[in-house]
Amino acid sequence: MQDIYLTGGYYKLRKALVTGASRGIGEAVALQLQNEGYQVYTPTHVELDLEDAMSIDAFCKKYSDITFDVLVNNAGINDIHMVEDITEQEMLSMMHINLLAPIRLIRGTVPNMKKQQYGRIVNIGSIWGVAGKAGRTVYAATKHGIHGVTQTLAVELAPYNILINTICPGYTLTALTRKNNTEEQIQEISSCIPMGRMAEPEEQAKAICFLAGEGNTYITGQQITVDGGYTSL
């Protein structure tokens, strides 16, 4: 880890790895961590193909001399189909990207976290891992699964001061949301949310970055839903 000398001593530059940071919530997380002074790594699909185990292993090996203090497993895909219409490839892609890739990245980054007795990991779940919605059979399975990973590793990693949590974002007003919905549809969805609006990506990022930050010293193994009260109805 790079050391920066400041008056009175050394300050360690924290490093963060954020997947799916090219847009939306991931981009907001990367920007906030940068603003908080982290050196943020946001690999492209070419450098890190989350559907390919060999690509993930190669990435972890390439950066094995770097200790990532923070890992945010944000990347994910959601192919929406009724259960009888889901293809084998769609099932495998969601399982690999949404569930197996985070496990593989944790496997590759945790050894260095253990050595320094510090780490913060945030897995991104979904409100569809909390509540049900038609067309999300496999997606929901992966999001339920990722919190199972969180709970298990909270127990396994706590002795090393490595905290891991799941954030479940609700409807969020990303560029993709605007692209895929008319303004009328956005208003209709917003009317079903107690807060009366969708979240901004930056609001999701605040919750994620708190759990990923040094201010979080004791919260681990938790699933926190950031949805404006939607799943409380």
Instruction: With beta carbons less than 8 A apart as the criterion, state whether 68 and 120 touch.
Output: no
What is the set of active-site residues? 139
**Long-range contacts of 13-16, Cβ-Cβ distance < 8 Å, separation of 24 or more:** 13/37, 13/38, 13/39, 14/38, 14/39, 14/69, 14/70, 14/214, 15/39, 15/40, 15/41, 15/66, 15/67, 15/68, 15/69, 15/70, 16/40, 16/41, 16/68, 16/69, 16/70, 16/71, 16/72, 16/212
Q: Is 78 exposed, middle or buried (0-12, 13-18, 19+ CB in 10 A)?
A: middle
How many residues are recorded in the chain? 233
